[in-house]
Amino acid sequence: MRIAHVGEEILRTSAIQISKSEFEHESLNGFIDELLATMLEADGIGIAAPQVFDPRAIMIIASRPNPRYPDAPDMQPLVLINPVIQQSSENTVWEWEGCLSVPGLRGRIERSDSVDVAYLDRQGQPQNIKLEGFIARIFLHEFDHLIGKTWLDHISSTENIMANDVWMQKFA
Domain positions in the chain: 9-171
> Helix or strand or coil: residue 9?
helix
Q: What pLDDT is stored for residue 70 in this prediction?
A: 79
Among the options 8, 22, 90, 142, which is catalytic? 142
| 142 catalytic per annotation | yes
- Cα 59 to Cα 143, 144, 166, distances in angstroms: 8, 10, 29
**Which element (helix H / strand E) includes 130?**
strand 126-132
Q: What is 9-171's CATH number?
A: 3.90.45.10
Give the pLDDT score at 150. Answer: 96
Q: CA angle, corner 148, sides to 123 and 96, nearest 5?
A: 95
Sheet holding 105-112, edge to edge: 92-98, 105-112, 161-163
What's the pLDDT score for residue 169? 86
pLDDT of the chain, 172 residues: tens digit per residue: 999 999 999 999 999 999 999 998 899 999 999 999 999 999 899 999 999 999 999 999 999 887 777 788 999 999 999 999 999 999 999 999 999 999 999 999 999 999 999 999 999 999 999 999 999 999 999 999 999 999 999 998 999 999 999 988 887 6
**Which residue pairs, CB below 8 angstroms and at least 24 apart, start in 149-157?**
150/6, 150/11, 150/99, 150/101, 150/102, 151/97, 151/99, 151/102, 151/107, 151/109, 152/6, 152/102, 152/107, 154/107, 154/109, 154/110, 154/111, 155/107, 155/109, 156/109, 156/110
Helix (H) or strand (E) holding 105: strand 105-112
Instruction: Output the pTM of the full model.
Output: 0.94
Q: What is the model's pLDDT at position 136?
A: 97
SS3 13: coil
**Please, what's the b/e burial string for 85-112 (b: 16 or more CB within 10 A of its CB; e: otherwise)?**
eeebeeeeeeebbbbbbbeebbbbbebb
pLDDT of residue 171: 79
pLDDT at 65: 85
The pLDDT of residue 8:
96
